[in-house]
Amino acid sequence: MEALLLGAGLLLGAYVLVYYNLVKAPPCGGIASLRGRTAVVTGANSGIGKMTALELARRGARVVLACRSRERGEAAAFDLRQESGNNEVIFMALDLASLASVRAFATAFLSSEPRLDILIHNAGISSCGRTHEPFNLLLRVNHIGPFLLTHLLLPRLKTCAPSRVVVVSSAAHRRGHLDFTRLDRPVVGWQQELRAYADSKLANVLFARELATQLEGTGVTCYAAHPGPVNSELFLRHVPGWLSPLLRPLAWLVLRTPRGGAQTPLYCALQEGIEPLSGRYFANCHVEEVPPAARDDRAAHRLWEASKRLAGLGPGQDAEPDEDPQPEDPGTPSSRSSPLSEEPTVSEPHAIPHNSPDLSKVTHRIQVKTEPEPIS
């Protein structure tokens, strides 16, 4: 009996060490009040995206949940309004697998929303499921769709600078390898899906890196964020039904909650003083070095050009013109029409407090080691 108790104590101690050192996520700090600012979070009807949107709403932001399912998106918006006490949480339809849907979302957003301060690309898939498309569905949803959406919304991000773009990536990028000769080939079978998922996450990291280069001096900064191992729908969505009951208890023990997974994306969106780290990869709320393939500037630029082609952006079509008037100052509330006729009515935003931190006035700088040169 004593040996059994000792063994149980050792196992419990080992689990506590693992949990607090590897599983539990550090809490996000950053800007306390986001009143008068607008954020878009893709895939925000569940999991990490929903917890990210909840925290932004609690801090007073106007939050747009960009989701594929209208039913689930509107239900999530209702839940978040109730839980946060912020009525300015709305749903807008977005299917990242459809470039037409991405363009429609951008048109609807730009015609109805005068501001965009934070854009968080959270939506993603890990498997094609039963869908058979004539293109690489994982690359389309995880990278090409977000790439096009960013381009279409860039004029608004620039006029609202300082603003931020956060791309939710994964440690799986370390296994990625981009073959530019077959970048958009359809994915067949679970082995190809695993490779395609890792490749799409590598594309996320390279996209953030090249976007930072393209936007230098504009006041728009961007970051790739790894949420950590998270117990979310993405983890269990494609697990066989008979295996799910066995994995759920294990996942509960060793994986982060969606709230924990949201901390690093929130850090990248809200933390003051990280502007000098634009384009870098973050994990556990701090910058982390990436392998040579993920800091190859030539590959990042080549991916940029290939992505423009796959997204249907020809020469001179990097982004649609922003014909709307200059955005209002965050401290001046105004009426906003609902983006879609079916959208729920939202209340007017409150004025931003005078003591709310301004990203443009951040003076704190973070000292980091110089990155090694990319390996060809």
The catalytic site residues sit at 197
C-alpha pair distances (Å), 164 with each of 1, 11, 226, 371: 57, 43, 16, 22
CB atoms within 10 A of CB 240: 7
At position 349, the amino acid (one-letter code) is P
Q: Residues near 294 by Cβ (< 8 Å), separated by ≥ 6?
A: 173, 174, 176, 202, 205, 206, 209, 281
Pair 124, 168: CB distance under 8 Å: yes
E-strand ranges in the chain read 38-42, 62-67, 89-93, 118-121, 163-168, 220-226, 281-283, 286-287
Give which of 123, 126, 138, 125 is closest to 48, Cα–Cα.
Answer: 123
Pair 361, 194: CB distance under 8 Å: no
What pairs with residue 92 in β-bridges?
A: 66
C-alpha pair distances (Å), 136 with each of 191, 202, 203, 250: 14, 15, 13, 31
C-alpha 34: how far from its chain's center? 18
Please give the full DSSP string across 22-57, using - where no structure is assigned: IISPPPP-S-S--TT-EEEEETTTSHHHHHHHHHHH
Unique residue bearing structure tokens 């004029």: 155
Q: Cα–Cα distance between 153 and 65 in angstroms, integer?
A: 15
Q: Cα–Cα distance between 322 and 152 in angstroms, integer?
A: 9
Give which of 251, 230, 97 is closest to 172, Cα–Cα.
Answer: 230
Give which of 114, 27, 29, 52 is closest to 357, Cα–Cα.
Answer: 29
Q: Cα–Cα distance between 174 and 64 in angstroms, integer?
A: 31
